[in-house]
Amino acid sequence: MNAQLRQWLERYSPESFEKRENTINRLLEEDFTEIMINAWNEIFLEDDQGIRAMEGVFASRGEYRRSVSRFLSYYNQRLSVDRPIIDFDIDKGYRVNVINSHLTGADVVVTVRKGGGQRFQEADFLEGGFMSRKQRQLLMRLMRERKTLFISGETSSGKTTLLNFLLGDIDRSERLVIIEDTAEIKAPVGSNCVYLRTKAKAHLLQEVNTSDLVKTSLRMRPDRIILGEIRREEVVDFLHAINTGHQGSLCTGHGNSPQDMMARLEMLLMEAGIPYEAAQRYLGRGIDAIIQLRGKSERRIEGISAVSFFAGEVKIDDIA
């Protein structure tokens, strides 16, 4: 950039100048699934080929600190001692997590993840090996029969991507309420759909959590509730909803296997004060199937398991 153009941008278009000249924003122009800045001189980028180190991105710790400050300022975010962890989403559905230096003991840590909001066609999944034709036919039947599905998998295994794809199997006449933290889930164009997003407590705004939104959704006449991810107390309200007339709902969660995912849900229910016997009944009669995903760079459906309730216990049986 020549000096005259630089001066013009600084004077007449400061916001565009800040964004274009910010090293972090230039990193976002790379092809990536995740950018991990552990320190000013420790930067890693993950793409379809795996994780690789990036050298010489920042010239010094001072430059890195200035870049972080400008980056947060551009997106109207504040990092401080009283607000040491911030999460927000930016252009193109990227999710950003920033942790202040007094918690890391060194530099500010920045992690940027490309959201899983892409919408793929059936051929993309079949030809890419994400699912088999048998699995696809089974998923179509489960969606048509309004079965409640739980998508389980590790981080970046394609849970949201699969969820978006399955939304295409829902009749456009059905009313959907989609609940999530960041804007990643996208119903097909023309769907009768309402999007609800959680709001963290910041700038004196009242916190609205996932549990609040699940409760609110029940007053909005949903045919199906689509929950981006179950983490804690919202599991009670979600399972109450799908056990009282909202079959065909979908949800995702972090689990290494259907058994691990079910054990985690049991633990969350009992932490919320639900007795073990009631937790088993809620899960066994609420969730119809678990779709287990595997892998990051080579994502695929590892298996589909039916969930049932028999003799007071949850039963999990592989069906595809």
What's the confidence (pLDDT) of residue 17? 46
Cβ atoms 257, 234 nearer than 8 A? no
CATH of the domain at 89: 3.30.450.90
Does the pTM surpass 0.85? The reply is no
Final residue in a domain of this structure, among 94, 114, 134: 114
The reply to whether 151 and 16 lie within a common domain is: no
Final residue in a domain of this structure, among 114, 131, 159: 114
Query: Left (φ > 0), alpha (ψ -120 to 50) or beta: where does 114 sit?
Result: beta
What's the confidence (pLDDT) of residue 12? 46
- Give me the mean pLDDT over the 264-280 stretch: 93
Strand bridging mode 109-114 / 149-153:
unpaired
The reply to whether 158 and 86 lie within a common domain is: no
β-partners of residue 250 are: 149, 226
Structure tokens at 77: 């975010």
Final residue in a domain of this structure, among 114, 136, 165: 114
The reply to whether 79 and 185 lie within a common domain is: no
**Residue 21, H or E segment:** helix 14-21
The reply to whether 129 and 99 lie within a common domain is: no
The reply to whether 41 and 71 lie within a common domain is: yes
The reply to whether 55 and 196 lie within a common domain is: no
Domain assignment of residue 129, given as a range: 122-318
Dist. CA 26–CA 19, nearest whole Å: 8
- Give me the mean pLDDT over the 254-274 stretch: 93
Residue in the block written with tokens 């689509």? 226
What's the confidence (pLDDT) of residue 125? 92
Supply angle C-alpha 72, 111, 23, rounded to 5. 55
What's the confidence (pLDDT) of residue 240? 87
- Give me the mean pLDDT over the 55-80 stretch: 92
Cβ atoms 55, 25 nearer than 8 A? no
What's the confidence (pLDDT) of residue 120? 80
The reply to whether 155 and 280 lie within a common domain is: yes
The reply to whether 135 and 253 lie within a common domain is: yes
Residue 153 scores a pLDDT above 90: yes
Tens of pLDDT along 13-44? 444 445 456 889 889 988 888 999 999 999 99
Residue 203 scores a pLDDT above 60: no
